Amino acid sequence: MSERRVEAGPGGPTGGGTAEDGPSAARAPAGPPALAAAPHELALRAVGLVKVYEGGLVEALRGVSLEVRRGERVAITGPSGSGKTTLLHLLGALDRPTAGAVEVFGRDVALERDLDALRGRTLGFVFQLHHLIPNLSLRENVALPAHPWLGRRERLRRAAELLTRVGLGHRIDFLPVKCSGGERQRAAIARALVNEPRLLLADEPTGSVDSETGARLLDLFDELARTDGLTTVTITHAPEVAARADRTIRIVDGRIAP
Ligand SMILES: Nc1ncnc2c1ncn2[C@@H]1O[C@H](COP(=O)(O)OP(=O)(O)O)[C@@H](O)[C@H]1O
Ligand SMILES: [Mg+2]
């Protein structure tokens, strides 16, 4: 019953919980089939993901299994409507699968009691639409999801530093409406990085930036992969983005194309 041990991440068990009753202790049913790599090397493991919408009328995902190793840079490509965004949301625990399982750094998302904590500790998410808050400056937007225990001054300092890193040092006090689409997208990337995530999930992060800016953003992702071991999963239509990934997964009609 308890033979299947799941590693705690390097950050240790979640604060506040009791040790004997950890989220991974109770999994009795047959686990996902063993795939290639050992769990401790994996940033992500998805097994048999199915997602239906509209009471079953729309089958967005029809059984997707994949593994992403720590530090790996994976690109996801595929036609519009093929299920890419749905997949990314499931991988980031923003939505629940109809069937199948997701593990993030060895932890079964379905067993996590505090998904906000999991996301806050480990995940950064860049949405297809940037979702910046219109009446907050870029700096305040980036600082918003930063860990509250950092304190306001440190949160704003980090935000300014990240905005500078994505090339927006001259825009930190601008409202989103005063910025171009590409600048907003870069701010959304800075926001996704504010808690130093181990896994960055990005939905077309270079979709609305020119190719030079896009290349600089990818340089930043690469740098973070090198220095911090950041794992990235990036949905993209841009061949140059896919070309820089370690691996490309193509989704067609809710499945991984062979
Ligand atoms: N919330 C939703 N409700 C109903 N259908 C949805 C919803 N989200 C996505 N879909 C449908 O699921 C399919 C896959 O969508 P999506 O994952 O957004 O594809 P992609 O990102 O590859 O363009 C599409 O047919 C889309 O219309
Ligand atoms: Mg999409």
From the CA of 82, the nearest ligand is: 1
Do 90 and 102 contact (CB within 8 A), yes or no?
A: yes
For ligand 1, atom 13, the nearest C-alpha belongs to 60
d(CA 159, CA 143): 5
Q: How many CB atoms lie within 10 A of CB 69?
A: 17
Question: What is the H or E stretch that residue 219 is in?
Answer: helix 211-228
d(CA 87, CA 242): 17
Q: Which residue has the higher pLDDT, 216 or 80?
A: 80
Angle between helices 181-193 and 211-228 (to 10 degrees): 10
Structure tokens at 135: 């009446």
Strands 42-53 and 99-104, by their bridges, are antiparallel
Angle between helices 152-165 and 181-193 (to 10 degrees): 130
Provide the CATH topology of domain 37-256: Rossmann fold (3.40.50)
d(CA 141, CA 72): 28
Q: What is the mean predicted confidence (pLDDT) over 71-92? A: 95
**Helix intervals (H) in 70-113:** 84-91
From the CA of 81, the nearest ligand is: 1
Question: What is the H or E stretch that residue 45 is in?
Answer: strand 42-53
pTM of the predicted model as reported, rounded to 2 decimal places: 0.82
Strands 73-77 and 255-256, by their bridges, are unpaired
pLDDT of residue 27: 42
Do 185 and 207 contact (CB within 8 A), yes or no?
A: yes
Query: Residue 219: exposed, middle, or buried by beta-carbon count in 10 A (0-12, 13-18, 19+)?
Result: exposed
Q: Report the atom number in ligand 1 closest to the C-alpha of 203.
A: 21
Q: What is the pLDDT of residues 200-255, one digit of tens each?
A: 999 988 777 777 878 878 888 888 888 888 999 999 988 888 888 999 999 999 99
Q: How confident is the model at residue 182 (pLDDT cuts 50, 70, 90)?
A: confident
How high is the mean pLDDT of the chain? 84
For ligand 1, atom 6, the nearest C-alpha belongs to 53
Do 104 and 123 contact (CB within 8 A), yes or no?
A: yes
d(CA 108, CA 110): 5
d(CA 127, CA 217): 15
Q: Report the atom number in ligand 1 closest to the C-alpha of 54.
A: 4
Domain ranges within the chain, ordered by starting residue:
37-256
For ligand 1, atom 26, the nearest C-alpha belongs to 81
Ligand 1 binding residues, C-beta < 6 A: 53-54, 58, 60, 78, 80-86
Torsion sign (Cα): 150, 152, 158, 163: positive
Q: In what order do the strands lie in the sheet with 231-235?
A: 123-126, 199-203, 231-235, 73-77, 247-252, 255-256
Do 240 and 69 contact (CB within 8 A), yes or no?
A: no
Q: What is the mean predicted confidence (pLDDT) over 125-150? A: 91
From the CA of 90, the nearest ligand is: 1
pLDDT of residue 226: 84
pLDDT of residue 221: 84
Structure tokens at 37: 């790599």
For ligand 1, atom 7, the nearest C-alpha belongs to 53
Q: What is the pLDDT of residues 15-49, one digit of tens each?
A: 333 333 444 444 444 544 444 555 568 999 999 99
pLDDT of residue 152: 95
For ligand 1, atom 24, the nearest C-alpha belongs to 81
Q: How confident is the model at residue 119 (pLDDT cuts 50, 70, 90)?
A: confident
Distance 168 CA to ligand 1 centre (A): 32
Structure tokens at 69: 């190793």
